[in-house]
Amino acid sequence: MSDGNTGVPHMVTAAVGARLPGQVRAADYEACPVTHTVRMLGDKWTLLVLMLLAERAHRFNELHRRADGISQRMLTRTLRTLEDDGLVARTVFPTVPPGVEYDLTARGRELLVPLSALADWVVQGRAA
Amino acid sequence: MSDGNTGVPHMVTAAVGARLPGQVRAADYEACPVTHTVRMLGDKWTLLVLMLLAERAHRFNELHRRADGISQRMLTRTLRTLEDDGLVARTVFPTVPPGVEYDLTARGRELLVPLSALADWVVQGRAA
DNA sequence: CCGAATCCCTGATGATACTG
DNA sequence: CAGTATCATCAGGGATTCGG
């Protein structure tokens, strides 16, 4: 409720059923959590990492190998963002050398549902 | 069928139900239509323009006014991309001065459904 | 093995001026 | 009104190197 939004709480939800203000302020659009989500999904490696983790948990270098072309830097960054957003859990095993496992959280798995719906829409468009 | 994909037809759909190859080749990931879609949704103005058009058809300058902060250049580019992807229809009225109207296509409106599902997921996460 | 720190470069975006 | 053209800027991403 009191999340600091000034009138455009969840733009997409609002737009399908309701009306947007006469002018959508840039700050509101940028602050919208839906905007944040599609931005994150849209950057170069997020979707791929998400799909790999949807299959099963992975070690860092495992992801690095399976995601052809990704740099260590970007894999780290992508995983960090996903972790910060609560979609991925990071578990460290105090072995020698240390092992780190990444896996989807419950919320991360829930995201796969609307994501599949989106993918279905994409596929439908090609069939038609 | 023969769409040139080498094994990763629709990654997201595949990943939720099936397995990905041992290594997902960069070219396949980049060529994936789902990847293309989330990239497009993720760029700076696409979502906002989509939401405004979800409400009703708009004239160019109308969109320019309602989308605070967008430049003419980026509004043009965003609309062009949406048009190329078949989500937005452009209609020119041969009046003086000329009027151009932008509206969602049937396919564009269908996109609102999975997009709403995604927005709902976002909202759920905040409530919890 | 799993990163962090640094440097660099290209593509995406913004500002401004001009036109049918 | 609805753009196009050009130039400037800036952030995302890649390569490389170093450390626990």
Tell me if B1 is assigned to some domain: no
What pLDDT sits at residue A124?
Answer: 87
Interface contact A4, partner B, CB < 8 A: no
Radius of gyration, alpha carbons of chain A: 18
Is the pLDDT reported for residue A72 higher than 70?
yes
Tell me if A11 is assigned to some domain: no
**Whole-model pTM?**
0.90
What pLDDT sits at residue B18?
Answer: 60
Beta pairing partners, B90? B102
- Give A127 CA → C7 C1' in Å: 46
For A106, how many CA atoms within 13 A lie in the half-sphere containing its CB? Answer: 3
Closest nucleotide relative to residue B71's CA, C1' based: C14
Degrees, nearest 5: CA angle B15-B20-B26: 110
Contact A118 B114 (CB under 8 A): yes
Q: Which tens digits make up the pLDDT trace of B87-107? A: 999 999 999 889 999 999 999
Tell me if A9 is assigned to some domain: no
What pLDDT sits at residue B11?
Answer: 61
Interface contact B107, partner A, CB < 8 A: yes
Q: Whole-number mean pLDDT of chain A?
A: 88
Q: What CATH number is associated with residue A96? A: 1.10.10.10
Tell me if A48 is assigned to some domain: yes
Contact B3 A126 (CB under 8 A): yes
Three-state SS at B97: coil
What pLDDT sits at residue B33?
Answer: 93
Tell me if A13 is assigned to some domain: no
Q: Which tens digits make up the pLDDT trace of B22-42? A: 899 999 999 999 999 999 999
Residue recorded with tokens 């396919």: B107
Q: Which tens digits make up the pLDDT trace of A38-48? A: 999 999 999 99
Q: What phi and psi, each to the nearest 5 degrees, are found at residue A23?
A: -130, 125
What pLDDT sits at residue B4?
Answer: 40
Contact A12 B86 (CB under 8 A): no
Structure tokens at B24: 């997902």
Is the pLDDT reported for residue B9 higher than 80?
no
For B98, other C-beta atoms within 10 Å of its C-beta total 8
Is the pLDDT reported for residue A5 higher than 70?
no
Is the pLDDT reported for residue A68 higher than 70?
yes
| Cβ contact A104:A89 at 8 Å | yes
Residues on chain A touching B122 (C-beta within 8 angstroms): 10, 33-34, 37
Min distance B5 CA to chain A CA atoms (Å): 13
Three-state SS at B20: coil
DSSP-assigned letter for residue A6: S
Is the pLDDT reported for residue A127 higher than 90?
no
The tally of domains found in chain B comes to 1
- Give B68 CA → D3 C1' in Å: 19
Tell me if A8 is assigned to some domain: no
Is the pLDDT reported for residue B66 higher than 90?
yes
What pLDDT sits at residue A16?
Answer: 59
The separation between CA A102 and the C-alpha centre of its own chain, rounded to angstroms, equals 14
Helix segments in A56-105, DSSP class H: 60-66, 72-84
Is the pLDDT reported for residue B56 higher than 60?
yes
- For residue A88, the enclosing domain spans 22-127
Structure tokens at A37: 């989500």
Beta pairing partners, B67? A24
Q: Which nucleotides of C are covered by protein (CB under 7 A)?
A: 1-6, 12-17, 20
Q: Whole-number mean pLDDT of chain B?
A: 88
Tell me if A38 is assigned to some domain: yes
Tell me if B2 is assigned to some domain: no
Q: Which tens digits make up the pLDDT trace of A74-124? A: 999 999 999 999 999 999 998 888 899 999 999 999 999 999 999 999 988
What pLDDT sits at residue A122?
Answer: 92
